């Protein structure tokens, strides 16, 4: 899809991968509506970009609220008159023992990670189909393709985003609207501080800053720069490529899972990067 002069909506735009996608799309000469639940960070990032001359508009929006997504659509049309690209990127994570994950935490993750994507598609896909041009990027994760322990709710929601994206790509084939499914492994963002945006009634303690170096050790991984993820996204949009796997090791993990599936082997621990 041609990006120059077109309009994009990015959710989860105040931080990490979403913010990097916004910056990349601005470089590609797109106007961008930045949607995020975290008002302060959103205002700060949007003001920084606007003062550098970027055509961006911040909209505070909880993707788990379908009415808020409808308002996001209306605000976008009011401001720019059309929408050509949607990055359904907002997402949250909370590592928990599967059988100890409380119902309210399940609901939070399902509502943000799955329904947030679904509501975005319902609001914006019809506009793109009607204009015969557009591209939708759903941020899933490598965690939507291969599993590990202690992240059951996150895996469940990300597998759902992969399934939804595959189905959507089949459905929209021939309409002029492309679909991509973004499946990164570790990226240097604030995803490990996701509880900062959890509803207060979930009772999480205030989120503490997490050093990405500690996560790298825990995951035996090297965190990718979100700007490199955003570059992969831009290339995929241009080439109308569905899968965006940012890390080589993800291909190996998918291969292992598929082999296990084919021969009926039980799940095995996550493949180490060095294996």
Ligand X SMILES: NC(=O)c1ccc[n+]([C@@H]2O[C@H](COP(=O)([O-])OP(=O)(O)OC[C@H]3O[C@@H](n4cnc5c(N)ncnc54)[C@H](O)[C@@H]3O)[C@@H](O)[C@H]2O)c1
Q: Which is nearer to ligand X, 11 or 101 (CB)?
A: 11
Residue that has been written with the tokens 């947030």 in this structure: 116
Q: Which is nearer to ligand X, 5 or 116 (CB)?
A: 116
- Smallest distance, ligand X to C-beta of residue 30, A: 19
Residue that has been written with the tokens 């241009």 in this structure: 238
What residues line the site for ligand X (CB under 6 A)? 11-12, 14-18, 36-38, 61-64, 89-93, 112, 139, 141, 184, 186-187, 189-191, 194, 197
- From the candidates 80, 99, 119, 154, which is the catalytic residue? 154
Q: Which is nearer to ligand X, 190 or 241 (CB)?
A: 190
Residue 99 annotated to the active site: no
- Smallest distance, ligand X to C-beta of residue 170, A: 22
What length is written for the chain? 275
Residue nearest to ligand X (CB): 91
- Smallest distance, ligand X to C-beta of residue 157, A: 8
d(CA 86, CA 84): 7
- Smallest distance, ligand X to C-beta of residue 125, A: 19
The angle that helices 226-239 and 16-27 make with each other, rounded to 10 degrees, is 50
CB contact set of 3 (below 8 Å; sequence gap of 6+): 25, 28, 29, 30, 84, 85, 234, 237, 238
Q: Which is nearer to ligand X, 54 or 244 (CB)?
A: 244
- Greatest Cα pair distance, the chain, in angstroms, is 57
Instruction: Record the tokens describing residue 209, joined without a space.
Output: 């800053």
């Amino acid at each position: 899809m041609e990006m120059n002069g077109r309009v994009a909506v990015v959710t989860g735009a105040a931080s990490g991968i979403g913010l990097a996608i916004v910056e990349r799309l601005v470089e590609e000469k797109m106007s961008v509506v930045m949607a995020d639940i975290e008002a302060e960070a959103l205002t700060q990032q949007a003001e920084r970009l606007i003062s550098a001359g970027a055509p961006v508009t911040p909209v505070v929006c909880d993707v788990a609220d379908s009415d808020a997504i409808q308002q996001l659509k209306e605000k976008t049309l009011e401001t720019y008159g059309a929408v050509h690209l949607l990055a359904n990127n907002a997402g949250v994570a909370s590592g928990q023992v599967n059988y100890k994950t409380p119902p309210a935490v399940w609901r939070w993750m399902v509502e943000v990670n799955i329904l947030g994507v679904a509501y975005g598609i319902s609001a914006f896909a019809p506009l793109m189909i009607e204009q015969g041009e557009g591209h939708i990027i759903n941020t899933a994760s490598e965690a939507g393709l291969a599993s590990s322990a202690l992240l059951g709710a996150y895996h469940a929601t990300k597998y759902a985003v992969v399934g939804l994206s595959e189905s959507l790509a089949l459905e929209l084939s021939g309409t002029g609207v492309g679909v991509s499914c973004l499946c990164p492994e570790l990226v240097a963002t604030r995803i490990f501080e996701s509880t900062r945006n959890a509803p207060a009634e979930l009772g999480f303690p205030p989120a503490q800053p997490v050093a990405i170096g500690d996560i790298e050790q825990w995951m035996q991984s090297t965190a990718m720069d979100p700007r490199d993820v955003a570059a992969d996204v831009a290339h995929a949009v241009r080439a109308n490529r569905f899968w965006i796997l940012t890390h080589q090791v993800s291909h190996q993990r998918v291969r292992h899972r598929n082999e296990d599936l084919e021969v009926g082997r039980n799940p095995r621990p996550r493949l180490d990067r060095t294996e």
